[in-house]
Amino acid sequence: MPLKNTESRWGGMAQSLHWLMALGILGNGVLGLIMDEMPRGMTKLNTFAIHKSIGLTVLALLILRVSWRLFDRAPPDEPMPRWQRLAAHATHGVLYLLMLAIPLSGWIYNSLHGYPLQWFKWFNLPALMEKNEALSDIAGETHEVLFFVLLAVLAAHVGGALVHHWFERDNTLLRMLPFVRLRKPGQGDSP
Ligand code: HEM
Ligand code: HEM
């Protein structure tokens, strides 16, 4: 599979970043909800540290992903009505914003609360704001609510992909998957 996108499918780089980040975001969201319910103690603190490190990794991958997206032209959309194209692009735009806003709100919350921040016990990262207990509650709520907003938008995103796959029977989903043959491959594309 080529690293770059072709005329008919997403390349290895875009696919890897899409699925790795989807796993990272959803896994980290579930971890966040679980750790919130944990009793105080070392296990909770260690889980917090892992949650924050995964979240920072997602943020770093987002920078790489957006840079790659600007550098490597996306495959043209599969044929679809204009409203669907607009809805899909708007959804993608909101997902990009949420991929930025969720880890950033976590980082802001962490700063306002005065917690330390390390990436996998490797190096420290600075606070983004001065400690402020009153504001930290709002930031914590925002962090959580944004994750639930992501789940709602994701329902539309995944729903759209599955409708295209099962009902329109086009390549929208297949071209984001590795090692699968397209339904009507474009010229010069390997499966
Ligand atoms: C992929 C990115 C992330 C996702 C999806 C995510 C999601 C979540 C969720 C769902 C919770 C549970 C909220 C609750 O029940 O109150 C949570 C808690 C938390 N997150 Fe994140 N998070 C991400 C990144 C980050 C980052 C980068 C940081 C800090 C640098 C961070 C710091 C925290 C903290 C400190 C809590 C605990 C809140 C509490 O005190 O209960 N998160 N996160
Ligand atoms: C947290 C989870 C996810 C996020 C944040 C996310 C985000 C995105 C974004 C921003 C794009 C647009 C790519 C671009 O134009 O640059 C995209 C494309 C795509 N996503 Fe997701 N996605 C997630 C999970 C999923 C899941 C679970 C599916 C499974 C059905 C999926 C299926 C697709 C497909 C098929 C495309 C390509 C659409 C096209 O070619 O027009 N995504 N995703």
Residue 191 to residue 169: CA distance in whole angstroms: 17
CATH number where 77 lies: 1.20.950
Share of the chain above pLDDT 90, in %: 94
Quote the CA–CA distance of 103 and 54 in Å, as a whole number: 9
If you measure from the C-alpha of residue 157 to the centroid of ligand 2, how many angstroms do you get, rounded to a whole number?
Answer: 7
Q: Is residue 184 part of a domain?
A: no
Question: Does 146 sit in the ligand 1 pocket, CB within 6 Å?
Answer: no
Q: Give the structural domain span for 97.
A: 12-176
Give the ligand whose atoms come closest to the C-alpha of residue 109: 1
Q: pLDDT, tens digit, for every residue of 33-89?
A: 999 999 999 999 999 999 999 999 999 999 999 999 999 999 999 999 999 999 999
Predicted confidence at residue 122, as pLDDT, reads 97
Asked if residue 185 is part of any domain, the answer here is no
User: Is any ligand 1 atom within 6 A of the Cβ of residue 105?
Assistant: no
Q: Residue 1: what pLDDT? A: 83
**Going by CA atoms, what residue is nearest to atom 30 of ligand 2?**
158
What is the DSSP annotation of 68-91?
Answer: HHHHSPPPPPPS--HHHHHHHHHH
Residue 181 placed within a domain: no
Question: Is the shortest distance between the CB of 139 and ligand 1 below 6 Å?
Answer: no
Determine, yes or no, domain membership for 66: yes
Number of domains in the chain: 1
Question: For residue 113, is it within any domain?
Answer: yes
Q: pLDDT band for position 188 (50/70/90)?
A: very low
Burial level of 165, CB count in 10 A (0-12/13-18/19+)?
middle
pLDDT in tens, 106-120: 999 999 999 999 999
